Amino acid sequence: MKHDRRAPGNGARLLREFVIFLGCLLTLATGVFIARISHRNPAQELYHKAWEETARNIYDPATLGNWKSWEHVYVSGSITNKDADSAIREMLASVHDRYTVFVRPAAFSNKENSGHSQPAPAHIPAPDPRMLQPPADIGYVRLESFRDISDVYQFKQSLKRVKDCRAVIVDLRDNLGGVIDNAVAAATLFLDQGTIVNIRRRVPGAGYNLQQLWLSPDALHLDERLEGSTELHTNIREREANLLGARPVALLVNGYTASAAEILTGALKDNHRAILVGTTTFGKGIGQIGVALPESTLLQVTTLRVYTPGGYWVGDGGNSESHGIEPDVVVEASESMEFGTVSDNQLQKAIEILSARLGGKKP
């Protein structure tokens, strides 16, 4: 029996051709998959950018869970902006952070989207001096917000108007906060020196940046370093003058004193510059940045924590824990309290405390 010596050769050739054919199919399939990803439509690109920037900037990556599973939710098919918006919000909801949100242009002008999701308090009008009738030597100043630098300017002008008073009451009740730098600027109006705030901020790809803002008599200092590093960088800035010298200060706070307002509260309390009167503050010791996304949209991401000069963290604004800052003198608002009148028992308590401290002597 003769053997056909061509058979093995033909088989090997056919096998090689089959392997090459499979390789071509695999290459083609891979190319199609990559093309689908790299040629996203605008809505797909918006979704992917939101996924990417959240992962880059979120303060605690552990809160993302299995974030990779969200990446290719839309890698093929046609989706609309409405689909993308819904998908982004569903994705962000998995982080369980009410302050990490996606915003369309129509909402940009809505100040409720500036990182404050706590319930809005009832509006409290400024007190009527004819009704308040505090002692002539005790001044009263109210600060309603830190959202704009103009708020700090107006606050500064108000302090100048009471510069001849022997003591001052500062009302931060229902101040929902705003910009960190504005709270720092306000703190300089009360302090000669001392730490104002400590900040731990997420740095994409580099861990965390530790910052401390503190005052010397002639400057505002920003010390910063990467966590785990000993290399310290210092930036020195001009500071506002201490307008009140050593005059006694009472600070009125309540459960709606939040965020940047708690930075000022913590700075004055830890530096023993004011006595706090009222109820425990809200407890929002986190901050957000805004990341511009396609389609003129915005991603607001929690990226930092703030600590009082003594290293106390007031909480995450109600996501899972809120501690707040306890007042030195707890005074619950009476049910019949009418703001700015003799029935305002928190304000009256502050007047009582400062009157006792003055004792008929100038500070």
Q: What is the DSSP code string of 220-273?
A: EEEEEEETT----EEEEE-----SSTT--EEEEE-TT--THHHHHHHHHHHTT-
| 195-204: average pLDDT | 97
pLDDT digit string, tens, across residues 100-146: 999 987 544 333 333 444 444 444 455 554 355 567 799 999 999 99
Looking up tokens 């009471």, which residue turns up? 162
Highest mean pLDDT among 58-72, 157-171, 267-281: 267-281
Tell me what pLDDT residue 361 has: 52
Q: What pLDDT band is residue 72 in, cutting at 50, 70 and 90?
A: confident
pLDDT digit string, tens, across residues 48-65: 999 999 999 999 999 999
DSSP label of 311? S
Tokens of 183: 């709270």
At the top level of CATH, the class of 127-191+242-282+324-363 is alpha beta
Residue 12 has pLDDT above 70, yes or no: no
> Which of 29-38, 95-104, 247-256, 352-361 has the lowest average pLDDT?
29-38
Percent of the chain at pLDDT exceeding 70: 78
* Predicted TM-score (pTM) of this structure: 0.81
Tell me what pLDDT residue 123 has: 44
Average model confidence (pLDDT) for the chain?
84
| 275-287: average pLDDT | 97
CA dihedral 238, 243, 245, 250 (to 10 degrees): -120
DSSP label of 64? G
Contacts of 24 (CB under 8 A, 6+ apart): none
| 176-203: average pLDDT | 97
Residue 259 has pLDDT above 60, yes or no: yes
**Separation CA 198–CA 222 (nearest Å):** 10
3-class DSSP assignment, residue 351: helix
Residue 17 has pLDDT above 70, yes or no: no
3-class DSSP assignment, residue 178: strand
Q: Is CATH 3.30.750.44 the right assignment for the domain spanning 42-104?
A: yes
Residue 11 has pLDDT above 70, yes or no: no
Q: Given CA atoms 126, 130, 131, 132 in this order, what sign does their dihedral have?
A: positive
> Which of 11-25, 64-78, 248-262 has the lowest average pLDDT?
11-25
8 Å CB contact between 166 and 362 = yes
**Separation CA 351–CA 223 (nearest Å):** 38
How would you list the strands of the sheet with 249-253, edge to edge? 138-142, 167-171, 249-253, 275-278, 329-330
Q: Where are the domains of the chain?
A: 42-104, 127-191+242-282+324-363
**Separation CA 145–CA 260 (nearest Å):** 9
The tally of CA atoms less than 13 A away on the side-chain side of residue 35 is: 6
Looking up tokens 């928190």, which residue turns up? 346
8 Å CB contact between 282 and 316 = no
Contacts of 259 (CB under 8 A, 6+ apart): 115, 116, 146, 176, 177, 178, 282, 284, 287, 317
